[in-house]
Amino acid sequence: MHKNLRQVLTGEKLPWRDELAQILAHFNRKHATKDKDVSHKTKEDREDFYFAFFRELRGNDDVRMKVRPRNLAHRHIEFMAGRWVARGLEPGTIQLYLSYLRTFAEWIGHQGMVLSPSKYVADPALVERSYAAVNDKSWSAHEVNPDTKIAEVSTFDSYVGCQLLMARRYNMRIKEAIMCVPHAAEIDGQLEIKRGTKGGRQRFVPIDTPEKRAALEAAKVLAGSKSAHLGRPGKSLKQNIQRFRYVMRKFGITKADLGVTAHGLRHEYANDRYQQFAGVASPVRGGPPIEREVDRAARLRVAEELGHSRENITNAYLAGILKQPSEVATPTPATQVKPAAANGDGRSAIMRDEP
């Protein structure tokens, strides 16, 4: 056991939840590998995962799984990894979970206990993360009409419905949609997205369609006050996220039910915009090879609106670049769009990586 862990735990027979809480209170602020503290979000995400992990593990009928946090062993991790694979979790999610457990094992003095993801499955492909889209993850690709489904959700919960609608029209992540202050976010015909973004990175999405305008105006009405966000009033961000997840499960917006998640709306947006900018469907939607300059310009525009600075990040949404110069298609002229030139404040410029 880690030499500091005995000092952390105040009793030998604590309920498992109290034991876990004491471990987290002491270790959770620490970075997994570096001598520094982690962000509040990372601490919160870890805490949610660890409690859910042990709750599911101990809730199993097998008495061998009634483990206390301090006594976590390899067989417990192997057991849960098997459940994740059977549940159809994405490779990236499984890798993240194992990373959390690797950190936890360090805390309790079991360094090296958590193996690489491929060691827990018969087929390593099940846990090997691909950074290029193989299948279209947008809702329409799974025969889910985004507008119809969002309307259904809105009748049950107007706040979650509005959050989904903003995610649909402005490619927002869910945290971004909840924290959005719609009255203040509109600037010069664009929607500023900064609250809740990864790393606080600001981006601007043009309000360039009637559907986008309608979604924003509906969000303003729901928010009411010019300083109000789109989360349910009186609830914390964590409570709003929990409510959102509950509603997603209730309406089957999960991989297990309809085969889609809320994040699929970003895939929907990215692929729709690529087709608008390039004049042809994206590779993941079966589009033909096109001139590299046109493809790159479209990808940069999509990356910009998604809040990224690198062209290759679009591979995760659109699939990789098809290089078949002898079969290059000519995009529809009316829909081709060149990369936006920077204006005075840089809001329309392609964002570049910081040096």
Record the tokens describing residue 164, joined without a space: 């989904």
b/e per residue 234-259 (b: at least 16 CB within 10 A): eeeeeebbebbeebbeebebebeebb
Q: Give a yes or no: residue 177 inside a domain.
A: yes
Q: Give a yes or no: residue 91 inside a domain.
A: yes
pLDDT at 199: 72
14 and 116 part of one domain = yes
pLDDT at 35: 79
Q: Give a yes or no: residue 301 inside a domain.
A: no
pLDDT at 85: 84
162 and 239 part of one domain = yes
H-type alpha helices, the chain: 5-8, 16-27, 40-58, 74-87, 91-107, 146-156, 158-170, 174-179, 182-185, 210-223, 237-250, 264-278, 292-306, 315-318
By the 10 Å C-beta count (0-12 exposed, 13-18 middle, 19+ buried), 19 is classed as buried
pLDDT at 128: 63
Record the tokens describing residue 253, joined without a space: 């917006």
Distance CA 45, CA 191 (A): 28
Of 204, 233, 254, which residue is a domain's last?
Answer: 254
167 and 213 part of one domain = yes
95 and 166 part of one domain = no
186 and 242 part of one domain = yes
Q: Give a yes or no: residue 350 inside a domain.
A: no
**Residue for token pair 């829909």:** 335
CATH of the domain at 164: 1.10.443.10
pLDDT at 312: 77
pLDDT at 337: 46
State which residues form the domain around 197. Answer: 146-254
Average pLDDT over the chain, rounded to an integer: 84
pLDDT at 344: 39
Q: Give a yes or no: residue 40 inside a domain.
A: yes
153 and 120 part of one domain = no
DSSP 188-254: TTEEEE-TT-GGG--EEEE--SHHHHHHHHHHHHHH-STT--SSPTT--HHHHHHHHHHHHHHTT-S
Question: For the chain, how many structural domains are there in total?
Answer: 2
* C-beta of residue 230 within 8 angstroms of C-beta of residue 159: yes
Q: Give a yes or no: residue 41 inside a domain.
A: yes
Q: Give a yes or no: residue 273 inside a domain.
A: no
pLDDT at 126: 62
- Specify the DSSP class assigned to residue 94: H
Long-range contacts of 309-315 (CB under 8 A, 24+ apart): 309/350, 309/351, 309/352, 309/353, 310/353, 314/270, 314/274, 315/131, 315/132, 315/133
Q: CB count, 10 Å around CB of 85?
A: 18
Record the tokens describing residue 221, joined without a space: 């009405």
- Pairing of β 186-187 and β 203-206: unpaired
Distance CA 210, CA 139 (A): 21
pLDDT at 101: 95
Identify the bridge partners of residue 107 per DSSP, sorted by sequence position: none
Residues of the chain with pLDDT under 50: 1-3, 324-327, 333-355
20 and 111 part of one domain = yes
Of 254, 289, 320, which residue is a domain's last?
Answer: 254
Q: CA separation (Å) from 12 to 6, 68, 69, 107? A: 9, 11, 12, 17
Of 220, 254, 288, which residue is a domain's last?
Answer: 254
